[in-house]
Amino acid sequence: MSKPTIFCISTYEKGQAFLREVHRQGADVILLTVESLRDADWPREELTELITMPDKLTPEQLLNTVMYLTRSRRIDRIVALDEFDLESAAMLREHLRLSGMGLSATAFFRDKLAMRTQAKAAGVPVPEFTGVFNYDDLRSYMAAVPGPWLLKPRTNASAIGIKNIVTPEDLWRGLDTLGDLQSHYVMERFVKGEVFHVEGVTWEGKVLFAAPHQYGHPPMQTMHQGGVFTTRALSPKSADAKGLVAAHREVIKALGMVSGVTHTEFIKSAADGKFYFLESAARVGGAYIAEVVEAATGLNPWVEWARIEVAVARGEQYSLPKLKGGFAGSVICLARQEHPDTGAYQDAEIVHRLQKHHHAGLIVRSDSAERVEELVGSYGVRFLDQFCAVEPVPDKPTA
């Protein structure tokens, strides 16, 4: 196939690097987005078509919209650029009988209950969990598993919608509030510890690239209590990095990823020092993690995802680009200032300054993991004092 068509869906403004790379690879790229993002910063010159739809279409309405488009357009691959569009893409693939993840396979990278069940069955360590279905089962779970616990939406990203449960009474009150939505939650033991993430590239079931990173504070803490988001690449020689790469490989095998990119999170228990699987997403990590990975290694996950999709469409082989050695990290926060000035930060390791309304952010790179850790740590403290603003955590995604 000389010129395949990659059909992309995104109800959020992201994935520009993916769209550009698909075009650079010589494929047609069609973007379907919502009407409210018609004038967003899309790479219009690289798009074969930009098509908009009303916000909040039902699955049936979305299906009808795309099937109408297929009457005059041939689609070879369907890609959801944002996590919240993954089920839509899976539904469309199944209806068109296109290759790629269907609804059941997608659930292992969207549904926290599904991914935990699958990982546990494969022997991957996970915090003790239970579905929120039968009340007697919930009582038995709380009697057997010491609290506190977390009540998590099964399909929300990041820490959105997570509720802390300290006592059984907290759970019953929370379930009363949720009403008919309670079965869309999973309950798990709260594990105190440090949170890590691995950015991965998989081809034909084999993990080709796995970059382990450590968050400064758990994302749930940053989102719920406010603060500065930081992450940094780990030295591949460290025990944590080796453990994470091995754990990541087991998770990818258990969840059945064939070809694509992943963002996978683990927690290292303060009690026993073990890594426990938290969640995995078949997408590029948010919060400028792709830029951090690129600064350190030269590999941009968005670009590699595009190359994989085009290679699959053409029936060709994919291989990693040449990687460079190095380490990078980021410091980002919601800012009190409309246009925060980071001019006082002048270290030579700074490679990117975030230009975003009411946000402050820096990305640093060095040949030394220790230097990156030092800079990210010191910048995080300074950002907290100079820029950091706090707003209530949303119950639903906003971007």
pLDDT value of position 224: 45
pLDDT at 390: 82
Concatenated DSSP letters of 39-66: TSS--GGG-SEEEEE-TT--HHHHHHHH
Where on the phi/psi map is residue 287: left (φ > 0), alpha (ψ -120 to 50), or beta? left
What whole-number distance in Å separates Cα of residue 102 and Cα of residue 111?
13
Query: According to the model, what pLDDT value does residue 349 have?
Result: 98
Q: What average pLDDT does the segment 222-247 reach?
A: 88
Res 160: pLDDT: 73
Evaluate if residue 219 carries a pLDDT over 70.
no
State residue 82's pLDDT score: 93
Residue 330, phi-psi category: left (phi > 0), alpha (psi -120 to 50), beta (remainder)? beta
Q: Which tens digit of pLDDT belongs to each residue from 129-175?
A: 999 999 999 999 999 999 999 999 999 765 678 999 999 999 999 99
What's the 3-state SS for 319-336? CCCCCCCCEEEEEEEEEC
- Characterize 119-157 residue by residue with b for buried, 16 or more Cβ atoms within 10 angstroms of its Cβ, and e for exposed: bbeeebebbbbbbbeeeeebeebbeeeeeebbbbbbbbb
Angle between helices 239-255 and 112-121 (to 10 degrees): 100
The CATH code belonging to domain 5-107 is 3.40.50.20
The per-residue pLDDT of the chain, averaged, comes to: 94
Token digits of residue 53: 């739809």
Residues 6 or more apart in contact with residue 38 via CB below 8 angstroms: 50, 52
Instruction: Provide the 3-class DSSP secondary structure of residue 234.
Output: coil
Length of the chain: 399
Domain 193-386 falls under CATH 3.30.470.20: yes
pTM of the model: 0.94
The pLDDT-based confidence of 397 (bands split at 50, 70, 90) is low
| % residues pLDDT > 90 (the chain) | 93
Quick one: CATH architecture of 128-189? Answer: 2-Layer Sandwich (3.30)
What ranges in the chain are assigned the alpha helix state H?
16-24, 59-70, 86-96, 103-107, 112-121, 135-144, 168-178, 219-225, 239-255, 289-297, 301-314, 369-386
The domain ranges of the chain are: 5-107, 128-189, 193-386
Q: Residue 60: which pLDDT band, with cuts at 50, 70 and 90?
A: very high
Assess whether the region 5-107 and the region 128-189 belong to the same CATH fold: no
Q: What confidence tier does 52 reach under pLDDT thresholds 50, 70, 90?
A: very high
* 8-12, 38-42, 395-399: segment of lowest average pLDDT: 395-399
- Per-residue model confidence as pLDDT tens digits over 86-138: 999 999 999 999 999 999 999 999 999 999 999 999 999 999 999 999 999 99
